[in-house]
């Protein structure tokens, strides 16, 4: 007999419907799975057979054909186990075809028949919420929390195959309820711990407020890592829609904790400098999101920037510009969102002492130029703010009263973000100044005449590209927003220019 069960697959972070068709017919005993299954999908045969047997269902020795359609997209992941098992039970008459009407079924099977968590469930739930004729999503209990972020969708979360079969045969479903939400931020690192370094703190406040890229340059021990690690404590809160997108990416990457908790705070990703360019921007046979996508709506922190492979660094340019990564594969290309703010730290020269107040730099000019050229001009130009910092002297470190708290800085950041959200309310893909189209910054009356004049003369003296011109203007816009000024003035532009590389 022929059976059809609805399931879903994820491409990038977008889900689409899959129809799992199962045909059990007379003929030589065989198991054929078609529809471009990846290795782990083919292995469903072993899991499903054992799970059915251990749940007390006997499969007839027949010719079994399973088709995952549409047949021309590559299928990966272990989520097809459960729909295949249910399809088999319909095909051999244990369940009726009507019992699975309007259900989308997803889940991995343990050999004992237990239903285990899978990746990408939030994407599926968001997809189904927009579809009509959906009765419920049948999913693993481990994925209930993330799926319940989509409020309108009824969820059914059987713990075992047997439990699902009982529900399907009786037609009565117990709807799953999400567990308690856990909050991600620990709040231990605070800007109050940082003595001095006012310029760097100011730059990070501007970066957090407007979503700008920022590079900290200074000798070891200057506090670069310490400052950057405190950035999460002043980042603005995620909007609900942003939190959904970020959680969907982390779900696809399989990074949600077992609790399936929603990602509640802006991501702060700090990959090690040995990371490959595939790890950074994403890749793999069944493409997975890279660090730039895991940092979507948050910060990608690259400590010791010049230790990263040149190729990896250059691969950042395209996502920084487009806000997404497109991974092209022969079968299909997959897009992952990647709107991140790059924050990086590096030493000023090979001996690290350049600009140090007491130590002597032993590097020749040529060596310094060669060292810095590891950061290409094209990438440097895309980093809005370059900040040079010197270490704070020992006597200042002890006894000095600590700086402003993260909470106070964050309040200003939040206020300026609110201003930006109002400004870009009509532009769906823009949420902060760093991504503002140039025309929205240059509308009549938005920039003072003095400020324009200063910008034009800086363009010549600093040899700014057109891109550089707009980047200065965006940073100036954020500085004005922090002061709640409607117009960008000369002082705002002049501060923004100070952050440009010379
Ligand atoms: N301005 C500062 N205020 C307080 N502590 C500091 C400051 N600068 C450096 N330190 C101390 O020095 C340590 C090393 O700083 P770190 O951030 O690792 O420097 P870098 O990354 O520039 O090499 C910090 O963990 C902190 O204990
Ligand atoms: Mg460091």
Report CA(100)–ligand 2 centroid distance (Å).
56
Residue 25, SS3 per DSSP: strand
Q: How far is CA 345 from CA 162, 251, 385, 390, in A?
A: 55, 29, 12, 13
Closest residue by CA, ligand 1 atom 23: 220
Residue pair 105/114 in contact (Cβ under 8 Å)? The answer is no
Report CA(469)–ligand 2 centroid distance (Å).
31
pLDDT of residue 174: 83
pLDDT of residue 363: 84
Q: Tell which wins on pLDDT, 108 or 375.
A: 108
Q: Which ligand is nearest to the CA of 216?
A: 1
pLDDT digits 0-9 by tens, 74-114: 899 999 999 999 999 999 999 999 999 999 999 999 999 99
Residue pair 262/245 in contact (Cβ under 8 Å)? The answer is no
* 219 CA closest ligand 1 atom index: 22
- Most ligand 1 atoms within 8 A of CB, residue of 194, 198, 226, 270 to mutate: 226
Residue 324, SS3 per DSSP: strand
* 222 CA closest ligand 1 atom index: 22
Rounded distance between C-alpha atoms, residue 64 and residue 32, angstroms: 6
pLDDT of residue 461: 86
Segment 305-331 mean pLDDT: 89
Residue 7, SS3 per DSSP: strand
pLDDT of residue 314: 92
pLDDT exceeds 60 at position 357: yes
Secondary structure E strands in 329-479 = 333-337, 341-346, 385-388
Question: Which segment of 194-208, 220-234, 288-302, 392-406 scores lowest on mean pLDDT?
Answer: 392-406
- Most ligand 1 atoms within 8 A of CB, residue of 195, 219, 221 to mutate: 221
Residue pair 289/279 in contact (Cβ under 8 Å)? The answer is no
Rounded distance between C-alpha atoms, residue 19 and residue 305, angstroms: 47
pLDDT exceeds 60 at position 204: yes
Pocket lining: 269 vs ligand 1, CB cutoff 6 Å? no
Nearest to 498 by CA among 461, 466, 465: 461
Pocket lining: 405 vs ligand 1, CB cutoff 6 Å? no
Q: Which ligand is nearest to the CA of 303?
A: 2
Q: Using alpha carbons only, give the angle 65, 66, 72 rounded to the nearest 5 degrees.
A: 120
Residue pair 393/196 in contact (Cβ under 8 Å)? The answer is no
Report CA(378)–ligand 1 centroid distance (Å).
30
Closest residue by CA, ligand 1 atom 1: 195
Pocket lining: 356 vs ligand 1, CB cutoff 6 Å? no
Nearest to 476 by CA among 403, 429, 416: 416
* 194 CA closest ligand 1 atom index: 3
Q: Tell which wins on pLDDT, 122 or 184.
A: 122
pLDDT exceeds 80 at position 242: yes
Question: Which segment of 378-392, 435-449, 469-483 scores lowest on mean pLDDT?
Answer: 435-449
Pocket lining: 197 vs ligand 1, CB cutoff 6 Å? yes
pLDDT of residue 182: 54
Q: Which ligand is nearest to the CA of 222?
A: 1
What per-residue string of b and e applies to 160-171 under the rule 16 or more CB within 10 Å gives b? Answer: bbbbbbebbeee
pTM of the model: 0.87
Secondary structure E strands in 322-471 = 324-328, 333-337, 341-346, 385-388
The residues with which 334 forms a beta bridge, in sequence order, are 327
pLDDT exceeds 80 at position 442: no
Report CA(202)–ligand 1 centroid distance (Å).
17
Pocket lining: 196 vs ligand 1, CB cutoff 6 Å? yes
Rounded distance between C-alpha atoms, residue 479 and residue 202, angstroms: 10
Pocket lining: 19 vs ligand 1, CB cutoff 6 Å? no
Report CA(392)–ligand 1 centroid distance (Å).
9
**Half-sphere exposure at residue 87, Cβ-oriented, CA atoms within 13 angstroms:** 29
* 223 CA closest ligand 1 atom index: 17
Rounded distance between C-alpha atoms, residue 253 and residue 292, angstroms: 12
pLDDT of residue 187: 60
pLDDT of residue 46: 94
What per-residue string of b and e applies to 56-69 under the rule 16 or more CB within 10 Å gives b? Answer: ebebeebebbbbbe
pLDDT exceeds 80 at position 443: no
Report CA(224)–ligand 1 centroid distance (Å).
7
Instruction: Provide the pLDDT confidence category of residue 292 given band limits of 50, 70 and 90.
Output: very high
Quick one: angle between helices 240-252 and 121-129, nearest 10?
130
Q: Which ligand is nearest to the CA of 304?
A: 2
Residue 350, SS3 per DSSP: coil
DSSP state of 298: S
For residue 212, with 0-12 CB atoms within 10 Å meaning exposed, 13-18 middle and 19 or more buried, which class applies? buried
Instruction: Provide the pLDDT confidence category of residue 183 given band limits of 50, 70 and 90.
Output: low
Rounded distance between C-alpha atoms, residue 161 and residue 166, angstroms: 9
Question: Which segment of 128-142, 182-196, 232-246 scores lowest on mean pLDDT?
Answer: 182-196
Q: Which tokens go with 357?
A: 């107040």
pLDDT digits 0-9 by tens, 27-71: 888 999 999 999 999 999 999 999 999 999 988 888 999 999 999
Nearest to 262 by CA among 242, 234, 281, 232: 242
Q: Tell which wins on pLDDT, 106 or 256.
A: 106
Closest residue by CA, ligand 1 atom 17: 223
* 303 CA closest ligand 1 atom index: 21
* 389 CA closest ligand 1 atom index: 22
The residues with which 343 forms a beta bridge, in sequence order, are 214, 301
Considering the chain, what is the average pLDDT of its residues?
Answer: 89
Q: Using alpha carbons only, give the angle 251, 255, 256 rounded to the nearest 5 degrees.
A: 65
Report CA(402)–ligand 1 centroid distance (Å).
14
Q: Which helix (H) or strand (E) holds 476?
A: helix 466-482
What per-residue string of b and e applies to 347-379 under the rule 16 or more CB within 10 Å gives b? Answer: bbbbbbbbbbeeeebebeeeebeebbeebeeeb
The residues with which 385 forms a beta bridge, in sequence order, are 214
Segment 259-267 mean pLDDT: 77
């Amino acid at each position: 007999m022929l059976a059809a069960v609805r399931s879903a697959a994820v491409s990038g972070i977008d889900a689409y419907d899959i129809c799992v068709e199962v045909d059990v017919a007379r003929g030589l005993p065989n198991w054929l799975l078609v529809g471009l299954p990846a290795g782990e999908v083919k292995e469903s045969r072993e899991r499903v057979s054992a799970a059915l047997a251990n749940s007390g269902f006997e499969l007839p020795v027949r010719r079994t054909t399973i088709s995952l359609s549409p047949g021309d997209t590559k299928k990966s992941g272990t989520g097809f186990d459960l729909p295949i098992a249910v399809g088999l039970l319909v095909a051999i008459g244990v369940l009726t075809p009507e019992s699975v009407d309007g259900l989308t079924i997803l889940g991995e099977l343990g050999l004992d028949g237990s239903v285990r968590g899978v990746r990408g469930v939030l994407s599926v739930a968001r997809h189904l919420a927009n579809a009509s004729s959906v009765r419920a999503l049948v999913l693993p209990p481990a994925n209930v929390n993330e799926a319940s972020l989509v409020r309108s969708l009824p969820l059914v979360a059987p713990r075992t195959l047997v439990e699902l079969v009982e529900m399907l045969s009786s037609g009565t479903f117990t709807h799953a309820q999400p567990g308690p939400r856990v909050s991600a931020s620990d709040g231990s690192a605070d800007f109050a711990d940082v003595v001095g370094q006012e310029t760097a703190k100011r730059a990070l406040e501007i970066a957090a407020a407007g979503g700008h890229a920022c590079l900290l340059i200074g000798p070891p021990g200057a506090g670069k890592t310490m400052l950057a690690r405190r950035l999460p404590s002043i980042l603005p809160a995620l909007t609900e829609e942003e939190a959904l997108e970020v959680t969907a990416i982390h779900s696809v990457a399989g990074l949600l904790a077992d609790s399936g908790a929603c990602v509640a705070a802006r991501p702060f990703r700090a990959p090690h400098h040995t990371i490959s360019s595939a790890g950074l921007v994403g890749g793999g046979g069944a493409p997975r999101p890279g660090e730039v996508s895991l940092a979507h709506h948050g910060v990608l922190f690259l400590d010791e920037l010049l230790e990263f492979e040149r190729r990896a660094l250059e691969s950042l340019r395209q996502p920084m510009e487009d806000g997404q990564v497109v991974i092209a594969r022969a079968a299909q290309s997959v897009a992952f969102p990647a709107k991140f703010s790059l924050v990086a730290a590096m030493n000023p020269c090979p001996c690290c002492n350049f600009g140090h107040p007491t130590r002597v730099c032993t590097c020749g000019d040529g060596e310094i130029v060669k060292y810095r050229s590891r950061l290409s001009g094209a990438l440097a130009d895309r980093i809005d703010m370059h900040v040079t910092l010197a270490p704070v002297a020992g006597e200042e470190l002890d006894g000095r009263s600590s700086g402003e708290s993260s909470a106070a800085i964050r309040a200003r950041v939040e206020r300026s973000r609110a201003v930006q959200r109002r400004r870009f309310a009509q532009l769906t893909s823009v949420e902060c100044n760093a991504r503002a189209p140039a025309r929205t910054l240059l509308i009549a009356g938005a920039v003072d005449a003095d400020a324009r004049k200063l910008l034009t003369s800086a363009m010549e003296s600093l040899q700014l590209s057109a891109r550089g011109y707009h980047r200065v203007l965006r940073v100036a816009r954020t500085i004005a927003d922090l002061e709640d000024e409607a117009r960008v003035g000369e002082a705002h532009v002049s501060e923004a220019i100070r952050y440009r590389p010379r």
